Amino acid sequence: MGVVIKQSSISAFFTYLGAAIGFVNTIILYPSFMTTEQIGLLRVIPSSAFLIMSFAQLGIGQALLKFAPELKKKPEGLTQLITFCVLVVLFGFLLTCGVLYAFKAPITAYFSAKSALLSEYFLVVVVLIFFLSLHSLLEAYSRLFLKIIIQNIIKEILLRIMLTIGVSLYYLQFISFHQLAYGLIIIYGLMLLSLIGYILWMGELKFSLKLNLIDKSLIRRIGVYSLFVMIGAGSTNIILNIDQIMISSTLGLSANGIYSTVFYFAVMIELSRRVIAQITTPLVSDLLENQDFVAIEKIYKQTSINQMVVGGLFFIGLVCNLDNLFALMSNGSEFATGRYVVYFIGLSKVMDMAFANSSQIISMSEYYKFNVVTIALLTVLMIVLNLVLIPAYGISGAAFASLSALFIFGMTKMIFIKYKFGFIPFSRENGILLLIGIVVLLVGLALPRLEHVLVDLVVRSVVIGIVYCGAVLFFNVSAEINGGIKHFLKKASTD
């Protein structure tokens, strides 16, 4: 776990720095420089590309992580594997293009009533699918070397800075909004080129003209695995992005602008989960290859409690400061209609973090098909819930649909892992942490509101942070966190 902590700690710094940039964009820049309809369009274009990307990638990114431990034992095994994976992505993209253009008329008709503007940027979505497919594959490849810091800088910081520059150029009237929307191609293209440049700099991006190690037997195994992963990953992306697409088609781009903006508040809660997942997935793959279930259980429990500590703190701080955040926004009263979106999505993120790396354990094991089947079934549930709840309750209904689907999915995975492997992510410490979180949330809400918004935000956040962190340390909820702080204090005292 030492590698995980070291890489995750450094990556977490850059991830949260990028989140801070994104938060400024979301709170100040976008609402001040663009209408809610324009915000909704800039959000739904990448969301549409992400939704389709998993199918275009044909599940090969996860297959790379799955079969790399086996292939890297052989000379040029990893080189031939990445070459094969890139070829699969290229084939999958061409296949996806054919399907998309064959069904272009019904796709554009679906958005014609409430979001006709989206149809004008069909080409942008297609190009982004290609860039994101390759970027996702190369991200997975760089994680094989337990190198996640630079790729997080590229995705979390560079991408957001480029978006900031693009929106600012539009506001200063150097470019039109139409050019800004097409500029997404340049922005995501540069993100991909930056990652390629980094892997080249590491000296690890090597391709082979020979694929003799990728024999028919291996291709068959990769194909079966990738098929299930494609269904599973595609279903996951549907769960993550279908709400924006259905809101855009049912309620309009303006409603999606509000939803996607307040949704981002809650997304910040799970940033640490993303960082940890990047480094634990290849480790879990190696441990499963060696049948080291004791180590897997240890990572499983550590990931659950540590992610819950961080996620709980951010959720409490967000809920208690929500009025302050809306007050800081241009047209904050308009965005305040998404208050319940923050509650529901924020709660779903903390819950998902508490369930730890269940998906990675199942998808890397011989039981990966179970993950796929449950995700596919939950995708259907998610779509049905959105169809029922969005017309009835608007964007709040979409958020509640996400919470419900993720809760069912998380419980299902946990029960399955308990049945197959004999362990669960929760311990006595999780219960103690839950009680701490409830008490601190009540304290934060009960604090008297100060007149100045920024002063209130800072004071409220400091009080919440001190009470929450103090309680976590006092009750020794996380041995890793307490041990890390003791090590830091000991080192500081000796310097």
Residues 160-199 have pLDDT tens digits of 999 999 999 999 999 999 999 999 999 999 999 999 998 8
pLDDT for residue 357: 83
- Our separate counts of H helices and E strands in the chain read 22, 0
Structure tokens belonging to residue 370: 């179970």
- Segments in the chain below pLDDT 70: 1-12, 146-147, 272, 274-279, 281-282, 487-495
pLDDT for residue 279: 66
Single out the residue of 222, 232, 221 nearest to residue 369, CA to CA.
Answer: 232
Q: What gap in Å lies between CA 185 and CA 322, rounded to an integer?
A: 33
Amino acid at 161: I
Q: Residue 260 half-sphere exposure, CB side, CA atoms within 13 Å?
A: 31
CB 29 within 8 A of CB 168: yes
34-69, pLDDT tens digit by residue? Answer: 998 999 999 889 988 988 887 888 888 878 877 887
Single out the residue of 290, 35, 305, 282 nearest to residue 143, CA to CA.
Answer: 282
451 burial (CB, 10 Å; 0-12 / 13-18 / 19+) is exposed
The pTM is what?
0.80
Residue with tokens 């994101």: 132
Q: What gap in Å lies between CA 55 and CA 231, rounded to an integer?
A: 7
CB 327 within 8 A of CB 455: no
